Structure 1
């Protein structure tokens, strides 16, 4: 979400960044009032995740999103799941050049060779991470920023969310050192937002308090 380029289709409050929907509820502006995008905002974005398959899917899709709108990726997500074995990274790690060619012929996904090859590479690196830390969740959540270290997340003058943080830069650097690709600091920060490592729902958004309550109740995974 940090680098989403979609033009919103509804009026946002320039002082708060909030958008009031047809249901009378105020939300972060970026879903633009689109039904599927709003549903993603309400039910997925920012909610804490500790399931390795879902984490792998999220980090891969954020990589595919680089240079595109997240809405484009969201609307292709089921096709991505079909193409990449539901992001079961143990299976994706076994993909061959034939699978790369198959994906390049799949009009339902983003047909970008380097991103496809990156997903297969990252699946193999994910197996290494799981072997070292016990789970991807334990590794990723170890980069969660402390609440007191959280900076202002939105520039209301430009309606842009924060692109990267010290933690996303550190996670990006460590992933790259471990051989991952398409995991730049901005991509990683969008992943951190998506998986609930940070709660960037705006003050006054109808989801902010429930997401924060879920984060408070969430048991952070630790290395096995």
Structure 2
């Protein structure tokens, strides 16, 4: 997303995300689940829409706490579909709820969602896409690729000459080690 390095700086929504989150290593399960969900909500839409709706999405999905979202039933689903402040796509909402249950299962089996990701690293993008497709819902190539770039598992979030790239490289993300 090399164009992002040109568009984001100084932008009220893109700027903070580009400079403080995108491409930085992430290992907190709640934050990982939120990021995966945001990428799912972005499918077919602009990232700006997602960033603008992010506070409402976080509130509507109980802070993206996987255990809470995994317990959602029909009442919560109906509440979400009626919430004009969020992206109201039934398939995406259903995927987020199902994926929360999957994250809970992975946490039970591997200790954390982050540990599950680490256990499968390194892989190329195609292998990651297959793995996510077998494990989660609504995780096509674009969703998986952006999710993994956004958490520093795959390279490519920033151009080499982007000032943020130097900060990320100093954090020694897996892709910088050749893994």
TM-score (ref. length: structure 1): 0.71
Please say if residues 199 and 212 of structure 1, whose CA atoms lie closer than 8 Å, have aligned partners that are also in contact.
Answer: no
Q: State the alpha-carbon separation in 2 of the partners of residues 90 and 120 from structure 1.
A: 10
Aligned residue in 1 for 2:109: 132
Q: State the alpha-carbon separation in 2 of the partners of residues 216 and 86 from structure 1.
A: 26
Equivalent of residue 5 in structure 2, options 13, 25, 28: 28
* 1:28 counterpart SS class: helix
CA RMSD, aligned part only? 2.0
Equivalent of residue 77 in structure 2, options 100, 105, 116: 100
Deviation at 1:202, TM superposition (A): 0.6
| Deviation by residue 1:57-80 (Cα, 9 ceiling, x = unmatched) | 111110110001111101111100
Aligned residue in 2 for 1:207: 164
Q: State the alpha-carbon separation in 2 of the partners of residues 205 and 175 from structure 1.
A: 29
Deviation at 1:193, TM superposition (A): 1.2
Equivalent of residue 111 in structure 1, options 88, 102, 105: 88
User: Is 1:90–2:90 an aligned residue pair?
Assistant: no
Q: Greater strand share, 1 or 2?
A: 1
* Count of residue correspondences: 173
User: Is 1:196–2:152 an aligned residue pair?
Assistant: yes
Q: State the alpha-carbon separation in 1 of the partners of residues 100 and 137 from structure 2.
A: 11
> Unaligned regions of 5+ residues in structure 1, if any?
3-16, 19-26, 146-165, 218-224
* 2:126 counterpart SS class: helix
TM-score (ref. length: structure 2): 0.88
List structure 1 runs of 4+ shifted beyond 4 angstroms. Answer: none
- Gap change, CA 1:78 and 1:131, over 3 Å in 2: same
* 2:159 counterpart SS class: coil
Please say if residues 159 and 165 of structure 2, whose CA atoms lie closer than 8 Å, have aligned partners that are also in contact.
Answer: yes
Please say if residues 152 and 173 of structure 2, whose CA atoms lie closer than 8 Å, have aligned partners that are also in contact.
Answer: no
Aligned residue in 2 for 1:23: none
Please say if residues 42 and 50 of structure 2, whose CA atoms lie closer than 8 Å, have aligned partners that are also in contact.
Answer: yes
Q: Which moved more, 1:190-199 or 1:61-70?
A: 190-199
Please say if residues 23 and 149 of structure 2, whose CA atoms lie closer than 8 Å, have aligned partners that are also in contact.
Answer: yes
| Deviation by residue 1:102-121 (Cα, 9 ceiling, x = unmatched) | 00111111000111011100
- Gap change, CA 1:199 and 1:167, over 3 Å in 2: closer
Please say if residues 28 and 205 of structure 1, whose CA atoms lie closer than 8 Å, have aligned partners that are also in contact.
Answer: yes
Q: Greater helix share, 1 or 2?
A: 2
Structure possessing the higher radius of gyration over alpha carbons = 1
